Each structure stands twice: as structure tokens, then as C-alpha cells.
Amino acid sequence: LLPDSVHIEAQALDRLGDVVAGLAVARCVIIADSNVAGMYGQAALGSVQAAGLPADLVAFPAGEASKTRETWAALADRAAELGLGRDGCVVAVGGGVTLDLAGFVAATYMRGVALVLVPTSLLGMVDAAWGGKTGVDTVAGKNLAGALHRPRAVLVDPAVLATLPDAELRHGLAEAVKHGAIRDREQLAWIERRRGALLGREEAALLELVTRSAACKRAIVAADPYERGERALLNFGHTVGHALERLTGYRLPHGAAVAIGMVAEAAIGEAAAVTEAGTAAELARVLTGLGLPVAPPAWVTAVDVLPGAGSDKKARGGRIRYALIERIGVPAGSGTGWTVEVPEEVARHSLARLWAGAAGARQVSPERNVI
Ligand SMILES: NC(=O)c1ccc[n+]([C@@H]2O[C@H](COP(=O)([O-])OP(=O)(O)OC[C@H]3O[C@@H](n4cnc5c(N)ncnc54)[C@H](O)[C@@H]3O)[C@@H](O)[C@H]2O)c1
Ligand SMILES: [Zn+2]
């Protein structure tokens, strides 16, 4: 599920045309959201056309609310109108929403066509571009309809981060913190040491973060591509996080939901005597320092979140299994499929206690993006 070629370097976007031309495809549909299309769509289109390939740019409205079957259908119909054939290529230029959505188009269009990913958000660069997961959300669940589809190439151009809104930069840092939390304490320590440079968008620091996180995720995917075991660790923070996204009608951004979810699941792990005491507080301190939320809006209760988690893909047989850590940098559950079952009342009590103690952090509404 990992790409044949990876380009994490300055001016990577300019090389898009050469990379796509090297795949021997007949034509290309570039998919971007309405924000990114305006900023980088012409550069991507120009690069592919300059390499001698017919190409079109198709945009959809930015935001998680577009990651639906309806947008997927509209994009596939548009690709057909534009004459994309079995020998065509979909190029996704954008954040995680675009990568997942355009990736799902590529996975399903004529039973699968070539896919090239150009992540432009930090979250896309550190996480969503790696591992071949594509899909869309439904009312019943986050990423409920999806497919695994290997991208042929991934291009990361750090220059595009210059236009990324501050809140989006932080959302990417949340997934990078996750990589540290699940297997590399040094990554977390490095993020803390380089916090000023990262938040100040120093290119060298951001490039190193992307390289580190991409290497972490690629190693996990290479070891367990089909999530029979170790890959489940990447879901740390996501059982509660996905429930929060669904509860807020997908208005709570994914990175923010994962930040809240990691602290919540560390607390659940502590209550279940799986996770070292103090881990939730330590993660909350790191995430708060990065400007990320660590508790949901005040109207969300533990009871709201946990029944929702029952319909998550990670729930097996109606009982909730969590990807947990023993302590920062050390995963739990190596003997039980890398997930741990926690009785629902233990989880519910620990969240109720955690969020009651976070009253001050819970005054912001999801409509205002929480942070
Ligand atoms: N497939 C995977 O393995 C995987 C992993 C992690 C997350 N995800 C998915 O990724 C999604 C979240 O991704 P996201 O946070 O990137 O959201 P997103 O794609 O909505 O991007 C966030 C915002 O940033 C804007 N943006 C992106 N790049 C920009 C740039 N260079 N300059 C200015 N604005 C820019 C977008 O237009 C959007 O408004 C979720 O749906 C999540 O489920 C998938
Ligand atoms: Zn995620």
C-alpha cells in the first residue's frame, strides 16, 4: 500500500508533471478542494500539461462536509465526462479530505485507476498520504465507505505550508504527536524542543517533522498493511475522536478530535490499569502547548460519546476495543491484536471524571473550530 516513488523536497510540485508522465498514463484528472484549487490548482495543471499530458482540474467545496458519497459520485461522473479511461490517472492535491475522497474515486473508478497524492496540509503530509486508506463519511460513521488503494507516487512540497491556516498546522501536529505517543518517545520530545520552530513554520523543522512522521507511519503500514495487528495502533485517539466528529456533525476538525481523543483514551487506559498513571496529563500538557484542545465542547458528555463508539469499525462484537499505550512511546496490547477491551462503565466513568475536571477548556463551540 506504499507508493513506488516518494518526493519530499523543495519544488516537488513543479516535478508533478514528470512524475505523472513517468507512469505512462493517458490523461489526468486533478482533484482539489475549492481553497487549494485556487492556490495550487494552476501550478499542478500547468506542470502536468507541460509534460505533454492532457489534464483537467476539478474542484469540490472545501471541508469535511464534502467527504461524502454524493461528492464521490459527482467527481466520478465528472471524470467520465472528461474522458478519463482505465489508463487514466487521478491526482489528489489537498488536505486529508481531498486525499481520502479523490483516492476513493481512483480506487473505484473503472475498478481502479492510477493515483498520485500531493498532500498540502500538514495532516496530509504527516499522516493521510501514507498507507492507502481512502473513503468517505456517512451519517452512520466516519470513513464508513472506503477502500484500500495504493498511490503510485506521493509528492510533498513544503512551500505550500506557507498558506496553511494556523489552526490547520496544529491539526497536523496532533497526528505527529500520536506517532510519538504510540511508538517513539523521542519524537514527542523532539516536537516539544522544536515547538517554536514548528509553530513559527520554519521550513527545515516542518520538513524534518514530515520525514519523521512519514517514516513512522510507513514502517507500521509496511509491517501490517491490512490492519491485522500492529496497524491498529494508528487508531490511538481515534475511537473517541471519530465519535466526536460524528456527534458534532463533522464540524469538529479531525486533528482537534484526535487531540481530545488521545487524552481521553489515555485516561481510559489509566482507569483500566493498562496505561501508566499521569500519561493523560502529560499528553494534555504537550497538546495544550501546541494550541490544541484536550476536551470537547461542554455539551458533549461521556454518555454521548461511548454508545457512538459502539458503531465504530474498531468495535468487534458490540464491545469496544481501544488502541491504547502502556506509556508514552510504548504501545499496549501486543498480545491481544494491539487493541485492549475496556468495560464500557470503566471508560464512561473515566471520561466523565476527565471532562468534569476540564470545565474551563470546554467553553468553545465546535462551530468556531474549538481552537
Ligand atoms: N487516509 C488516512 O490514512 C487518513 C489519515 C489521517 C486523516 N485522514 C483524514 O484526513 C481528513 C483531515 O484532513 P485535513 O485536516 O488535512 O483536512 P482538509 O483536507 O479539510 O484540510 C483542512 C483545510 O486546510 C485547507 N488547506 C489544505 N492545504 C492548504 C494549503 N497548503 N494552504 C491553505 N489551505 C490549505 C483545506 O482547504 C481545508 O480548508 C479527515 O477526513 C481524516 O479522516 C485520513
Ligand atoms: Zn487521524
In a 3-state reduction of DSSP, which class is residue 143? strand
pLDDT of residue 160: 97
| Mean pLDDT to the nearest integer, 339-355 | 93
Q: Residue 124 — pLDDT band, cuts 50, 70, 90?
A: very high
CA-angle at 82, arms to 94 and 142, nearest 5°: 40
pLDDT of residue 367: 45
pLDDT of residue 359: 65
> Which stretches of 15-68 are DSSP H helices?
16-21, 34-36, 42-50
pLDDT of residue 8: 96
pLDDT digits (tens, 9 = 90+) for 190-203: 999 999 999 999 99
Asked whether residue 227 carries a pLDDT value surpassing 90, the answer given is yes
Closest CA to 131 of 232, 68, 220, 209: 220
Cell numbers linked to 180: 510519538
pLDDT of residue 330: 97
- CB contact at 8 A, 296 and 237: no
To the query of whether residue 368 is one of the catalytic residues in this protein, the response is no
CB atoms within 10 A of CB 237: 28
Asked whether residue 315 carries a pLDDT value surpassing 70, the answer given is no
Asked whether residue 364 carries a pLDDT value surpassing 60, the answer given is no
- CB contact at 8 A, 146 and 68: no
pLDDT of residue 148: 98
Residue of 39, 71, 122, 123 with the most ligand 1 atoms within 8 Å of its CB, for mutation: 123
To the query of whether residue 7 is one of the catalytic residues in this protein, the response is no
- CB contact at 8 A, 228 and 319: no
Residues 6+ apart with CB under 8 A from 88: 25, 26, 27, 28, 29, 79, 109, 113, 114
pLDDT of residue 140: 85
Asked whether residue 331 carries a pLDDT value surpassing 90, the answer given is yes
Residue of 168, 206, 262 with the most ligand 1 atoms within 8 Å of its CB, for mutation: 168
Cell numbers linked to 138: 456517512
Closest CA to 218 of 169, 275, 156: 156
For residue 220, the ligand closest to its alpha carbon is 1
| Mean pLDDT to the nearest integer, 53-64 | 98
| Mean pLDDT to the nearest integer, 213-219 | 96
Cell numbers linked to 126: 504527516
pLDDT of residue 221: 96
- CB contact at 8 A, 292 and 254: no
From the CA of 300, how far away is ligand 1's center (Å)?
Answer: 24
Of the candidates 242, 246, 321, 348, the residue annotated as catalytic is 242
pLDDT digits (tens, 9 = 90+) for 165-194: 999 999 999 999 999 999 999 999 999 999
Q: Whose CA is nearest to atom 34 of ligand 1?
A: 164
To the query of whether residue 183 is one of the catalytic residues in this protein, the response is no
- CB contact at 8 A, 145 and 69: yes
pLDDT of residue 357: 80
Q: Residue 317 — pLDDT band, cuts 50, 70, 90?
A: very low
Q: Are strands 153-156 and 5-8 parallel, antiparallel or unpaired?
A: parallel
d(CA 277, CA 267): 8
To the query of whether residue 235 is one of the catalytic residues in this protein, the response is yes
From the CA of 128, how far away is ligand 1's center (Å)?
Answer: 8
Cell numbers linked to 55: 489534464
pLDDT of residue 306: 85
Asked whether residue 292 carries a pLDDT value surpassing 80, the answer given is yes
From the CA of 56, how far away is ligand 1's center (Å)?
Answer: 22
- CB contact at 8 A, 265 and 347: no
Q: Residue 320 — pLDDT band, cuts 50, 70, 90?
A: confident
